[in-house]
Amino acid sequence: MTVRLSRAESVGPVVAVYGAAGHTGRFVVRELSRRGFTAVAIGRDAAKLAAADFPTGVRQVVAALDDPASLARALDEAAAVINCAGPFLDTADPLVSAALQAHIHYLDVTAEQGSALATFARYAPTAEEAGVAVIPAMGFYGGLSDLLATAAMGDWTRADEVRIGIALDSWEPTEGTRVTGRRNTARRVTISQGKLQPLADPAPNAVWPFAEPFGAQEMVELPFTEAILIGRHLQVSELHTYLNTAPLRDLRDATTPPPVAADASGRSAQTFLVEVEIRQGSSVRRAAARGRDIYAVTAPLVVEAVERVLNDARAQGGVFAPGALFDAQGFLAALAPDVLS
């Protein structure tokens, strides 16, 4: 059953957000409203939607993933849907199917490699035929690193090695992150000898000399969805993604609290720095981005992608990595300096 709790006067294209009452989903709804889109907040629980404190006029719709009819009604009039509801291993398939049925663009923010792989494998031909853009992993984990690597690659057609270092000063996980961690137990993959290969067990350690204020950090190799994205469109022999170990201790500690807002925007005080190095022979290129709150920064990333897809009259259908679809340098520049520096 679909329950429409309120209707806003349309001021821009309609974009639906599934999982809108979750931590990341609320940031996405606010970012859509800030940019003039008409946001539709979709979730499975009417009480959680009502308590989510959305901007004035945001329409709220209850729809179940196992009820295609309710999903179809929820997506009625939308030009695109953003999936913020993890675990994406469970939610991506029904929502991509619903988006293709409705002939609207689909984006999600998954860090789950299995989900992104399945989306490419299952939906590429159907999305291309339908003229619908499907973009998995358009968030902090996945999309941001893919865009940085693509920007650093520049006019190179291939690279011997890509190294990605991710530093967080802390990690206060949402409940959704914890649930996804329990669900996402598959062995991780990275790129070795030009193709996706299982990560070594145990995962390699390293020390990464980050710029200040992080400095030298103890790291562990931990690939996310950027490995799936980069492998789809960049010719790379080796890919190694590292995360510093301090936030992993926070994540593994069951007593670590969820994020706490530190300003009026709802962002936490957490900071991050992502550095990318690309090597071709003896030549090295670099790109980096820093900002606050890995959950909050996902909102401008995915909404910028929605805006570009909807504004591109030449938009084509298929399943895409962000770096394959967008001008990576222009995309990142559009988020500076307010979101990324």
Other CB atoms within a 10 A radius of the CB of residue 97 amount to 16
- Same domain flag for 32 and 51: yes
Task: Give residue 314's pLDDT band: very low, low, confident or very high (50, 70, 90).
Answer: confident
Asked if the model's pLDDT at residue 8 lies above 70, the reply is no
- Same domain flag for 151 and 280: yes
- Same domain flag for 254 and 283: yes
Contact predicate 130/102, CB 8 Å: no
Contact predicate 86/179, CB 8 Å: yes
- What is the tally of structural domains in the chain? 2
Please give the mean pLDDT across all residues of the chain. Answer: 95
Give phi and psi for 61, each to the nearest 5.
-135, 135
Per the domain annotation, does 225 fall within a domain?
A: yes
Per the domain annotation, does 62 fall within a domain?
A: yes
Any idea what the CATH number is for the domain that residue 162 is in?
Answer: 3.30.360.10
- Same domain flag for 151 and 273: yes
Per the domain annotation, does 270 fall within a domain?
A: yes
- Same domain flag for 149 and 267: yes
Sorted by sequence, the CB contacts under 8 Å of residue 138 that are 6+ apart come out as 107, 108, 109, 301, 302, 305, 322
- Please name the helix (run of DSSP H) or strand (run of DSSP E) that holds residue 216, with its range, or none: strand 216-221
- Same domain flag for 152 and 285: yes
- Same domain flag for 147 and 288: yes
- Same domain flag for 222 and 320: no
Any idea what the CATH number is for the domain that residue 50 is in?
Answer: 3.40.50.720
Task: Give tens-digit pLDDT for 240-268.
Answer: 999 999 999 999 999 999 999 999 999 99
Nearest Cα neighbor of 34 from 52, 12, 16, 5 is 12
Give, rounded to a whole angstrom, the gap between the first and last alpha carbons of the chain: 44
DSSP assignments along 77-91, one per residue: T-SEEEE--S-HHHH
- Same domain flag for 123 and 199: no
Task: Give tens-digit pLDDT for 94-124.
Answer: 999 999 999 999 999 999 999 999 999 999 9
Give the chain's largest Cα–Cα span: 60
The Cα angle at residue 218 between residues 213 and 222, in degrees rounded to 5: 110
Question: What range does the domain containing 324 cover?
Answer: 14-139+298-334
Per the domain annotation, does 339 fall within a domain?
A: no
Beta bridge mates, 192: 195
Looking at residue 308, its pLDDT comes to 97
Looking at residue 11, its pLDDT comes to 67
Contact predicate 148/287, CB 8 Å: yes
Alpha carbon 119 to its chain's center? 14
- Single-letter amino acid, residue 289: A
